[in-house]
A and B are shown apart, each in its own frame.
Chain A
Amino acid sequence: MGEMPQEVATSMALPWWSVLLLPVLLGVATWVVLACDAALEARPVGGPAGMGPAVAAPLRETARLLVGQRRRTLAGDRVLGGIGGAALPVAAVLAAAVLPLGERPVADLSIGVVWFNAMEVVAWAAVWMVGWGSNSALGLVGGYRFVAQGLAYELPHMFAIITAALGAESLRLTTIVDAQRDLWFVVIMPVAFAVYLLSAAAMAFWGPFDTPLSREVAGGAAVELAGVDRLVFVGGRWLLLVVAAAMAVPLFLGGGVGPLLPAWAWAVVKTAAVLALLVWLRRRFPAVRMDRFTEFAWVVLIPLTIAQALVVALVVLQRGGM
């Protein structure tokens, strides 16, 4: 690495108490996305229109799940399933720790990209544990579907985020944002950005990649979850989706950089745009099964992302970096 003054600047992190703020912020963002999704959901069905019922829908559902009875299955592994369910929201919040909220993250780790990746992979274990813990055939099928999905999306995903790190010559997210002051990374690495969007949906088992929890296996890994167990698991999944979308902003969309508005506002606007894209993706496409997608991911996406990384490496070399 060349001389990087930012590398020594460890004071970029927000004060420690902002850790407490993180779940609140993510919760609010999740609520907004849920409300928008509910409003879109109501449209083709001809249900109650407008934002009023849609805004209330997540609250109503939360209250219903809080008072609802938890479900026990015969010979289920409650400890394993419980740990899995709780791991999902915890992993999402921990992944968000390195996310710059505007300019500064809660924890400005020098290996931020790797930290995010590690937290996101916790979801694999979480979904599998929940599926196994229910001792139900459909739950088990759902759990294993997510493991297969991980095998398909993870390698292209890692090449995509590493390309962003390569462009900035750093794994620190604040440095990656600084490197985009002149030019957003999405411009010089569009393939990596597109692959990142796909894998953001896949890691939150969202949109066309929701077969681990699909309706066709009666809810898959989450089939036996009820009451507060379901609230924690499904809430964790939404948090993960929001964090995955928000991470696209520092990696590819220039972080909080923008005219007029303060950095945090730009981060919010850009995150909202990515989330809108993901919500649209789900309505636009039918589910993608891994017995078809894995081939595409390994034969098409991996070579594409490697070629993208190569191009970015040449750009960096030509600039006189490394």
Chain B
Amino acid sequence: MELPGGLPMADLGDDRDGLRLDRLHVPLGPVLPDWPPGLVVRTVMQGDVIQEAAAEVLDAGSGRPFWRHAHPAARELDGLARFLGVAGWADAAARARRLRDELLAGASAEHVRGSAAALLRRVRRSRTLRWQLRGLPAGPTDVAALLDGRLAAVEAAVSAAAGSAGRRASRAALDELAGLLVGSELAAARLIVAAVDPETEGASAHEEVRHG
């Protein structure tokens, strides 16, 4: 039978309620707005619920690592900007990006400390953001807790003594990420990826982790 556009039919699989529903294979990334560079999550979806996920980093290990030589606070602000973008808060995301760019352009941490503190206060105080994130499961914890971790990392990186490189915040590795995504809806999955903000630069080549 000739299929529309020569595309294969969606296959069937049991969903979370035990119904047999269409399964669609959807790769997330490597090109999506506010998405970690180079990351690809190959998913099997029913509706917008992720049934299986496999994460990998394209061209890992090739190219010059960018963030390794940048100010740690710039890296943290970049991650925060992407999270706020995914959370649909364009205004706050633009402010975080602006602070990041100032740091990358050579401004000192003291210079941005005031505006960074104002931004963090605004994000922490937003009850709407809390309401949207609280109880969104991400493994043993929820997205709100992950965000708190990210905000603390920004704070620590900005207030680290000027000149000293400061400690880099530890980030979850790829293998944890794919497991967190299984069973979540697309919107939640995007928030989880942005909150985990996995390190994609140092990942070893052809690393692929499958869950589901």
| A residues apposed to B, CB below 8 Å | 41, 44-46, 74-75, 135, 137, 141, 144, 208, 210-211, 214-218, 282-289, 291-292
Contacts and interface: CB of A to CB of B under 8 A. Distances in A.
B185 interface: yes
A208 B187 contact: no
Interface stretch (B13-21, B64-72, B93-101, B195-203): B93-101
B5 to A, nearest CB: 3
A45 B186 CA distance: 29
B88 A215 contact: yes
B164 interface: no
Contacts of B90: 215, 282-283
B186 A141 contact: yes
Most B-side CB within 10 Å, residue of A210, A218, A287, A288: A287
Interface residues of B, number: 32
Contacts of A284: 91
A137 B90 CA distance: 24
A304 B187 CA distance: 29
Most A-side CB within 10 Å, residue of B34, B85, B94: B94
B33 A283 contact: no
Nearest to B43: A137
Most A-side CB within 10 Å, residue of B4, B26, B88, B126: B88
B88 A291 contact: no
6 contacts: A137-B26, A215-B86, A216-B34, A218-B33, A282-B91, A286-B87
Given A216-B190, A289-B187, A75 B128 contact: no
Contacts of B104: none
B24 A287 contact: no
Given A215-B33, A218-B32, A285 B89 contact: yes
Nearest to B130: A286
Contacts of B98: 44-46
Interface string B182-212: 0001110010000000000000000000000
B185 A291 contact: yes
B5 A74 contact: yes
Contact of B128 (A135, A208, A210): A208
Contacts of B186: 141, 217
Nearest to B31: A218
Contacts of A286: 84, 87-89, 92, 126, 128-129, 132
Given A217-B186, A218-B33, A289-B132, A211 B95 contact: no
B128 A285 contact: yes
A303 B88 CA distance: 28
B82 to A, nearest CB: 10
The list of the 4 closest CB pairs from A to B, nearest first, reads A287-B88, A75-B5, A286-B89, A283-B91
B48 A210 contact: no
A44 B88 contact: no
B109 interface: no
Given A211-B88, A288-B132, 4 more contacts: A283-B91, A287-B89, A287-B132, A291-B187
A285 B125 CA distance: 11
A292 B131 CA distance: 8
Nearest to A140: B48
Contacts of A74: 5, 7
A55 to B, nearest CB: 20
Most A-side CB within 10 Å, residue of B7, B33, B98, B132: B132
